[in-house]
A and B are shown apart, each in its own frame.
Chain A
Amino acid sequence: MLACVWLLTIGGCAMPQPWVKPHERERLADPILQWQGDLLSSKNSQHVRDIREGARGANGVQGGGCGCK
C-alpha cells in the first residue's frame, strides 16, 4: 500500500523547469525588452567604440529573445 501511495505521489511530480521554452517566449521577444531603444544607432556607436578603444566583444548576447537556435 505504501509503495502504491509513493508511486502515485512521485507520478504527480515533474522535474522543476525554471527555464522558459522557446515557444513560450512571446512576451520576451517583445521589442520593448531590448536593452537598446534603437538597434541601428547602438550598433553604430558600438562600432565607433570598437575603433577608438581597439577592443571588441563582450557586449551581451545577440538576438531578440526568441530562443531560436
Chain B
Amino acid sequence: MRDLIHRRSLMAVVLLAAAGAARAKAAPDALAPDFTLRQIDGANLRLGEQRGRVVMVNFWASWCGPCRVELPQLARLHDKYRGSGFLLLGVNIDEDAAAAKALAAKLGITFPILLDSKKEVVGAYDLNAMPATVLIDRDGRVRHLHRGYKDGVEQVYEQQVRALLRE
C-alpha cells in the first residue's frame, strides 16, 4: 500500500512538472517558445524553421497607439537587414484580421505579418506589455526582450540586430 502511495505521489509530481514546462515563458538565454501561425496572405510560418537567421518577433495590434508609431521604424529595419540573414515577424493580436490588413497596407509594411487572433502566442510569451519585441539569435535563443515602445529605441534594436548578425 505504501509503495502504491509513493508511486502515485511521484506520478503527481511528474504531472505537475510537465504542466509547468508547458507554460514556458520567454526569458533571456532560454529557447524561444516555438509557434506556428497563419500569415496574412494565408501561408503558415513556424518560428522553429527560422533557425540560422536572426529573428525579431514584434507583438502589435491596430488598437495600440505606440505600435502604430513603432511599425514604420521596424519596417525600415527589416528592409535594411533582410539581405543579411535578418527576419522580422510581426505578430498581430487583433480579433479582426481585416484591421491588421488595413493598417499594414496603410503603413506600407513589407515584413511577414502573422495572425494570433486567439492571443495564444502572446499569452505564452507573457511579456506583460504592448508592444513587445523579442530578439532571437541564430540558435533560436531569446537574447533581448523589449517591453513597450519609447522614442529612439529603434536605434537600440539596430545595434542589437547588428551584434547578433555578426555572431
Instruction: Mark A residues whose CB is within 8 Å of B.
Output: 1, 3-4, 7-8, 11, 21-26, 29-30, 64, 66-69
Contact = CB atoms under 8 A, between A and B. Distances in A.
B20 to A, nearest CB: 9
Given A64-B65, A66-B66, A22 B5 contact: no
28 contacts: A1-B5, A3-B5, A4-B5, A4-B12, A7-B12, A8-B12, A11-B15, A21-B123, A21-B128, A22-B128, A22-B130, A23-B59, A23-B61, A23-B93, A23-B119, A23-B123, A23-B130, A25-B130, A26-B63, A26-B95, A29-B63, A66-B64, A66-B66, A66-B130, A67-B129, A68-B129, A68-B130, A68-B148
A68 B131 contact: yes
Contact of B64 (A8, A11, A29): A29
Interface of B: 5, 8-9, 12-13, 15-16, 19, 59, 61, 63-67, 93-95, 119, 122-123, 128-131, 147-149
A28 to B, nearest CB: 9
A24 B59 CA distance: 12
B16 A7 contact: yes
Contact of B9 (A4, A26, A29): A4
A69 B128 CA distance: 9
Contacts of A64: 65
Given A26-B63, A69-B147, 18 more contacts: A3-B9, A7-B9, A7-B13, A7-B16, A11-B19, A23-B59, A23-B123, A23-B130, A26-B61, A66-B63, A66-B66, A66-B130, A67-B129, A68-B64, A68-B65, A68-B67, A68-B130, A69-B129
Nearest to B7: A4
Contact of A26 (B12, B19, B94, B123): B94
Contacts of A23: 59, 61, 93, 119, 122-123, 130
Nearest to B69: A68
A68 B9 contact: no
A48 B151 CA distance: 29
A30 B63 contact: yes
A22 B129 contact: yes
